[in-house]
Chains A and B, each alone.
Chain A
Amino acid sequence: MIFVEDLHKTFGKLEVLKGIDCHVREQEVVCVIGPSGSGKSTFLRCLNSLETITSGTVTVNGHRLNESKTDIDLVREQVGMVFQQFNLFPHMTVVDNIMLAPRKVLKVAKDQARSNAVALLAKVGLTDKTDTYPGSLSGGQMQRVAIARALAMDPKVMLFDEPTSALDPEIVGEVLTVMKDLARESMTMVVVTHEMGFAREVADRVIFMDQGAIVEEGSPEQIFGSPQHARTQEFLGKVL
Chain B
Amino acid sequence: MIDGFGFQYLLPLGKGTLWTIALCATSGILGSVLGLILGLAETSPSRVARWLSSIYVNLIRGVPVLIIIFFIYFGVPLLFPGIDIPGFLTGVIALTGFVGAYMAEILRGSIEAVPKGQNEAADALGMGYFLKYRSVIMPQAMKIAVPPAINFLIALVKDSSLITVIGFIELTKAGSVVSNLTSDPIATYLAVAVIYFVICYGISRLGRAYETRTGIRSDALRVQKPLRLAGIGKSK
Interface check A69, CB cutoff 8 A: no
Q: Contact at A91–B139, with CB atoms within 8 Å?
A: yes
Distance between A170 CB and nearest chain B CB, rounded to angstroms: 21
Stretch binding the partner chain, chosen from B115-123, B166-174, B191-199: B115-123
Stretch binding the partner chain, chosen from A13-21, A76-84, A204-212: A76-84
Interface check A50, CB cutoff 8 A: yes
Q: Contact at A101–B139, with CB atoms within 8 Å?
A: no
Compute how far the CA of A105 lies from the CA of B117 in the bound complex, rounded to whole angstroms.
Answer: 19
Of A74, A86, A91, A153, which is within 8 A of B125 by CB?
Answer: A153
Compute how far the CA of A86 lies from the CA of B120 in the bound complex, rounded to whole angstroms.
Answer: 11
Q: Contact at A105–B131, with CB atoms within 8 Å?
A: yes
Distance between B215 CB and nearest chain A CB, rounded to angstroms: 9
> How many inter-chain residue pairs (CB < 8 Å) link A and B?
62
Interface check A5, CB cutoff 8 A: no
Distance between B129 CB and nearest chain A CB, rounded to angstroms: 9
Give the contacts of B96-144 with A (CB-CB under 8 A): 115, 117-118, 120-121, 123-128, 131, 135-136, 139-140, 143
Interface size class of B (residues with CB under 8 A): 10 to 19
Compute how far the CA of A37 lies from the CA of B123 in the bound complex, rounded to whole angstroms.
Answer: 24
Q: Contact at A153–B126, with CB atoms within 8 Å?
A: yes
Q: Contact at A90–B123, with CB atoms within 8 Å?
A: no
Q: Contact at A50–B124, with CB atoms within 8 Å?
A: yes
Q: Contact at A50–B123, with CB atoms within 8 Å?
A: yes
Compute how far the CA of A108 lies from the CA of B191 in the bound complex, rounded to whole angstroms.
Answer: 60
Of B121, B126, B140, which is within 8 A of A91 by CB?
Answer: B140
- Counting chain A CB atoms within 10 Å of each CB, the highest count among B118, B124, B143 belongs to B124
Of B117, B131, B143, which is within 8 A of A87 by CB?
Answer: B117
Chain A residues near B124 (CB-CB < 8 A): 48, 50, 76, 79-81, 83, 150
Chain A residues near B143 (CB-CB < 8 A): 91
Q: Contact at B136–A73, with CB atoms within 8 Å?
A: no
Interface size class of A (residues with CB under 8 A): 20 to 34
Q: Contact at B120–A83, with CB atoms within 8 Å?
A: yes
Interface check A144, CB cutoff 8 A: no
Distance between A237 CB and nearest chain B CB, rounded to angstroms: 33
Chain A residues near B127 (CB-CB < 8 A): 73, 100-101, 104-105
Contacts A50-B120, A83-B117: A89 and B136 contacting too (C-beta < 8 A)?
A: yes
- Counting chain A CB atoms within 10 Å of each CB, the highest count among B117, B123, B125 belongs to B125
Chain B residues near A81 (CB-CB < 8 A): 120-121, 124
Contacts A90-B140, A91-B139: A101 and B117 contacting too (C-beta < 8 A)?
A: no
Give the contacts of B59-111 with A (CB-CB under 8 A): none
Chain B residues near A90 (CB-CB < 8 A): 140
Give the contacts of A38-82 with B (CB-CB under 8 A): 48, 50, 73-77, 79-81
Q: Contact at B140–A101, with CB atoms within 8 Å?
A: no
Closest to A48 in B: B124
Compute how far the CA of A80 lies from the CA of B123 in the bound complex, rounded to whole angstroms.
Answer: 11
Q: Provide 20 A-B residue pairs closer than 8 Å at the C-beta atoms, listed in order of the A residue.
A: A50-B124, A73-B126, A73-B128, A76-B124, A76-B125, A79-B124, A81-B124, A83-B117, A85-B117, A87-B118, A100-B136, A101-B126, A104-B127, A104-B131, A105-B126, A105-B127, A105-B128, A105-B131, A146-B121, A153-B126
A-B CB proximity, top 8 nearest:
A76-B126, A87-B121, A87-B117, A77-B126, A81-B124, A101-B125, A73-B126, A73-B128
> Knowing that A83-B117, A105-B128 are A-B contacts, what are 19 other residue pairs whose CB atoms are under 8 Å apart, sorted by A's residue number?
A73-B127, A75-B126, A79-B124, A81-B120, A83-B124, A85-B117, A87-B115, A87-B120, A87-B121, A89-B135, A89-B136, A91-B139, A101-B125, A104-B127, A104-B135, A105-B126, A105-B127, A150-B124, A153-B126
